[in-house]
Amino acid sequence: MKKLLLLLVCLALSIGLTSAYALDEKVVVVSHDGDVKVIPAGQAQAIACQNGMLLKEGSRVITGKASYVTIAFDKAGRNLVKIKENTEVVIKLDGSDKIELVDGVVFALLQKLDRGETFRVRTPCAVCGARGTAWMTETNGLVTYVGVFGSNVFASGINKDGSVMEKKYWVKNGYQRMIEKFKDPGDEKKVPEDTLKKWKKEFGLGEKGRKDKEKGFWGGTNYREKQINTLEDRKSREEVEEEQEEKDKHNRKYTGYGFTTGT
């Protein structure tokens, strides 16, 4: 009887550990606002996004006007991607590729990847990534912009057969590169200071790129308990909608440091 009980306890512990490790391999929705839809992997019907939702490999996330969703790639919420309005992404989890950006804008904040792991964002034009930094990626399917507001990020073009070009081009803090489809990345260009400050605010980062625990998006490691998502911290929906009336993702203009992206 004792041996049977011991076996059952070991089995229960094994199941619990398996579940915990399985969670680490999935993406979790941390917060969202507005019109955010999720098409689960292997399905055609979209469902409404919910905080705490698990996103498996192949899940598609689509944000509408004046909307966003932040997702975590670890239980502690230290490796985050913020998907901005009018954006479509696919969760990859295929080796180093974690996000496929089909169209739109994403911000990535990486603070603690496992040893030897690299986090990459893939677009129709380029692959960009790093191990610990913060950067913006924007694409319209023909041109991709990679702007950095943390440690260096590498970028490589994509060949017509879908393979990644061998040569890596680095993008330093405060700079960006433009990558046209089937071409190597262009020269580095400095990003205006006001744009950098705007990017840093996406995750509540201070002037030195560190999280501000008082004002930042995260106040600690437990993202389920530390979400700063109250009405007092956000503009009202009416204000946001009014500001967005004059903006349209299909009418973006090149400003010399990327497309205008709205809020």
Q: What is the 3-state secondary structure (H, E, C) of 35-100?
A: CEEEECCCCCCCEECCCCCEECCCCEEEECCCCEEEEECCCCCCEEEEECCCCEEEEEEECCEEEE
Contact status, residue 158 vs residue 182, Cβ threshold 8 Å: yes
Percentage of residues in the chain having pLDDT higher than 70: 67
Query: Phi first, then psi: what are they for 151, rounded to 5°?
Result: -70, 170
Model confidence over 229-262: pLDDT tens digits? 333 333 344 444 455 554 444 455 544 445 544 4
Going by C-alpha positions, the residue among 63, 138, 77, 132 that lies closest to residue 107 is: 138
Which CATH number does 26-245 carry?
2.60.120.1440
Any idea what the Cα angle at residue 20 is, between residues 15 and 22, rounded to 5°?
A: 90
> pLDDT by residue (tens digit) across 147-199?
999 989 999 999 999 999 999 999 999 999 999 999 999 999 999 999 999 99
Q: What is the pTM of this model?
A: 0.72
Mean pLDDT over all residues of the chain?
Answer: 77
Token pair of 188, please? 């580095």
Q: What are 247's two structure tokens?
A: 């903006």
Task: Provide the pLDDT for residue 114.
Answer: 63
Q: Domain ranges in the chain?
A: 26-245
Report the alpha-carbon distance of residue 68 to residue 138 in Å, rounded. Answer: 15
pLDDT in tens, 77-129: 888 999 999 999 999 987 889 999 999 999 999 887 666 678 999 999 999 98
Quick one: which of 177, 88, 200 has its CA closest to 140? 88
Q: Is the dihedral of CA 49, 214, 76, 112 positive or negative?
A: positive
